[in-house]
Amino acid sequence: MDNKDLANLIFPDVKGVEYYEKVYSKRELPEGANVVRYAPSPTGFMHIGGIYQSLIAKVLAKQSNGVFYVRIEDTDQKREVENGVKQILDALEYYDVYPDETIGKGEYAPYLQSERKDIYQSYAKKLVEEGNAYPCFCTQEQLDEIRSNQEKAKERTGYYGKWTKCRSMPISMAIEKIKNGDPYIVRLKSPGNPDKKIKHKDVIKGNIDFPENDQDIVIIKSDGLPTYHFAHAVDDHLMGTTLVTRGDEWVASVPLHLQLFYILGFKAPKYAHTAALMKQEGEGKRKLSKRKDPEAAVSYYKEEGIPKDSVLEYLMNIANSNFEIWRKQNPTLSIYEFPFDLKKMGVSGALFDMVKMLDVSKGVISKYSAEEVYKFVYEWAEEFDGELKEMLENNKEYSLKVLGIERGNSKPRKDISKWSDVKNIIKYMYDEKFINEDINYEYQKISDKEIIKNIVKTYFDKYYDENDDKQTWFDKMKDLAESFGYAREVKEYKANPDNFPGHVGDISTVIRVAITGRCNTPDLYEILKVLGKESIQKRLQKI
Ligand code: GLU
């Protein structure tokens, strides 16, 4: 009896690996094309890091005329949740980082690992035949005992070297046990020697030396499904992955992964381990956490109304710090045109900062047309804010004008960072909200009620004309200032501050606050144009 008999007993009905090697033939792609993948487990929580990974993978594939595919790693069925796969694919679709190949689309199917059981078994069988894998019958109690002995002896824990009970079990005995119905799993017979080093050249992290792996890891579990390590090696080989981009929590697995590729006779892909997204906390930094940070969840951005373009734009900023300069020089190009370079990625923690994200978002939103803003805000409001939805719906034409204020010019307004802020930002433009609102008018320099009333009345009766162009309007504002003894120009006031109670800006602030209830607004002339005479009159009468 030999390893072949053992392999046939463990895996009686599987096809030979030649079959799969033929079915999943080598990809025909241009020289230098990257085949990159995102390989999440469907755990029911979509971390923003998943969009980050997918974006990087998609850019790398697209820019090299390669392929970006998504493989769902669901072999740990205890961790799986219902709808987990759908959640992932929906999020990728929403963020426009949908892969070229995934479940339901692509020639290297299935892309769901639980449907590839036979494939993994075929390769595991080969390893058993070659004597590179073996059945292990250790019970949980025996494994616990090994561990406790290792701890007592202050040695590394795990199933390796002299601790491997079943590694040297005679084949006849293993066969007998299997025939007897004893439960077992299949382990790798690791050829590694931890006193020796393997050299790894990571695309991002550079050269790293690791001790060789000597752990006889489980490759096939008792349910017949593979472990992640084993499955991913088989899949990355068969699916033609050339470049693995993934979070640097996987760096420590590199020696094992390279060993698996070697034993299986596969060419290993290149690896690029990306630094984790970090959050500033006090002086230090920590990983963006699913438990502590709402912004770790992809769903957060949709709920807050942060546009996907803003999220992608910010993620690119984190990925390559020269993106920001490039964007300034190329304000209208797609992010896929940015010459992305893995080598320019940081090697340690990438700071994920919501303040910066919102700032980037202001820039992104400032480039949208009024129609686009209307559409996006409306879509957001439909789901999250009934009052805003009604405001927009009942006044569509008017809302387009409101949202169009200081938009579409060379210095567009940059006061909106997320759709959930829009209601507060534009509310005062709607008479039905403004007129009945109890406003605490915070005038600035001029605070005397009587003087304010007088300024406002004089303005409306003597100077306001809805047909005025901007220059005329502004000149009249100066006339108004002068009529109250205020300087027509700020410069004039600054030159002789004792000659005037103030300047034109103080007077226009009175008009601004009286009409909008705020001292900071976009351009007042544009606001007055949009509001129209009737509304202005009603507003000034409130004063
Ligand atoms: N399934 C692993 C995860 O959940 C993927 C690791 C890899 O990309 O190799 O992160």
Instruction: List residues near ligand 1 (CB under 6 A).
Output: 39-41, 73, 228, 232, 246, 250
Whole-number Å distance, alpha carbon 234 to ligand 1 midpoint, is 14
Mean pLDDT (the chain) is 96
Whole-number Å distance, alpha carbon 228 to ligand 1 midpoint, is 8
Q: Which of 80, 228, 256 for mutating ligand 1's site (highest number of atoms within 8 Å of CB)?
A: 228
Alpha carbon separation from 300 to 44, 45, 293, 296, 418 (Å, rounded): 14, 12, 10, 8, 12
Average pLDDT over residues 58-72: 98
Q: State which ligand 1 atom lies nearest to the alpha carbon of 73.
A: 1
* C-alpha to C-alpha distance for 417 and 150, rounded to whole angstroms: 56
Digit-coded pLDDT (tens) for 249-305: 999 999 999 999 999 999 999 999 999 999 999 999 999 999 999 999 999 999 999
Digit-coded pLDDT (tens) for 188-217: 999 999 999 999 999 999 999 999 999 999
Whole-number Å distance, alpha carbon 332 to ligand 1 midpoint, is 34
Residue 311 neighbours by CB distance under 10 Å = 24
DSSP code for 108: T
267 dihedral zone (left: phi>0; alpha: psi -120 to 50; beta) = beta
Digit-coded pLDDT (tens) for 467-484: 999 999 999 999 999 999
In the structure, what pLDDT confidence band is assigned to residue 113 with cuts at 50, 70 and 90? very high
For residues 45-66, one letter each, b for 16 or more C-beta atoms within 10 angstroms of the residue's C-beta and e for the rest, the string is bbbbbbbbbbbbbbbbbbbbeb
Instruction: Please tell me the predicted confidence (pLDDT) of residue 1.
Output: 84
Residue 26 neighbours by CB distance under 10 Å = 7
Average pLDDT over residues 87-92: 97
Q: Across 67-71, 408-412, 429-433, which has the greatest mean pLDDT?
A: 67-71
Digit-coded pLDDT (tens) for 297-330: 999 999 999 999 999 999 999 999 999 999 999 9
Strand-pair partners of 350: 277
Whole-number Å distance, alpha carbon 72 to ligand 1 midpoint, is 9
In degrees and rounded to multiples of 5, residue 206 shows phi and psi of 80, -155
Instruction: Please tell me the predicted confidence (pLDDT) of residue 506.
Output: 95
Instruction: Please tell me the predicted confidence (pLDDT) of residue 442.
Output: 86
Instruction: Please tell me the predicted confidence (pLDDT) of residue 76.
Output: 84
Instruction: Please tell me the predicted confidence (pLDDT) of residue 349.
Output: 84
Whole-number Å distance, alpha carbon 259 to ligand 1 midpoint, is 17
Q: Contact at 8 Å (CB) between 538 and 514?
A: no
Strand order in the sheet with 218-220: 133-136, 185-188, 218-220
Q: Contact at 8 Å (CB) between 212 and 196?
A: yes
Digit-coded pLDDT (tens) for 123-179: 999 999 999 999 999 999 999 999 999 999 999 999 999 999 999 999 999 999 999
Average pLDDT over residues 231-238: 98
Q: Are strands 206-211 and 197-202 parallel, antiparallel or unpaired?
A: antiparallel
Digit-coded pLDDT (tens) for 1-56: 899 999 999 999 999 999 999 999 999 999 999 999 999 999 889 999 999 999 99
Whose C-alpha lies nearest to ligand 1, atom 10? 40
* C-alpha to C-alpha distance for 164 and 151, rounded to whole angstroms: 16
Residue 79 pLDDT greater than 80, yes or no: no
Please calculate the CA angle 519-520-523 and round it to the nearest 5 degrees. Answer: 110
Whose C-alpha lies nearest to ligand 1, atom 3? 40
In the structure, what pLDDT confidence band is assigned to residue 78 with cuts at 50, 70 and 90? confident
Whose C-alpha lies nearest to ligand 1, atom 6? 39
Q: Which of 43, 51, 229, 232 for mutating ligand 1's site (highest number of atoms within 8 Å of CB)?
A: 232
Instruction: Please tell me the predicted confidence (pLDDT) of residue 437.
Output: 83
Pick from 417, 414, 353, 412: which is nearest to 380 by CA? Answer: 417
Q: Which of 250, 256, 261 for mutating ligand 1's site (highest number of atoms within 8 Å of CB)?
A: 250
Pick from 263, 366, 360: which is nearest to 319 by CA? Answer: 360
Digit-coded pLDDT (tens) for 399-412: 999 999 999 998 99
Q: State which ligand 1 atom lies nearest to the alpha carbon of 236.
A: 9
Helices (H), 80-216: 84-94, 117-129, 140-152, 171-179
Q: State which ligand 1 atom lies nearest to the alpha carbon of 257.
A: 9
Q: Which of 246, 258, 260, 287 for mutating ligand 1's site (highest number of atoms within 8 Å of CB)?
A: 246
Whole-number Å distance, alpha carbon 293 to ligand 1 midpoint, is 22
Q: Are strands 218-220 and 185-188 parallel, antiparallel or unpaired?
A: antiparallel
In the structure, what pLDDT confidence band is assigned to residue 80 with cuts at 50, 70 and 90? low
Whole-number Å distance, alpha carbon 41 to ligand 1 midpoint, is 7
Residue 228 pLDDT greater than 80, yes or no: yes
Q: State which ligand 1 atom lies nearest to the alpha carbon of 41.
A: 4
Residue 452 pLDDT greater than 70, yes or no: yes
Whole-number Å distance, alpha carbon 37 to ligand 1 midpoint, is 10
Instruction: Please tell me the predicted confidence (pLDDT) of residue 529.
Output: 97
> What percent of the chain clears pLDDT 90, i.e. is strictly above it?
94
Digit-coded pLDDT (tens) for 517-530: 999 999 999 999 99
Whole-number Å distance, alpha carbon 115 to ligand 1 midpoint, is 17
Whole-number Å distance, alpha carbon 250 to ligand 1 midpoint, is 8
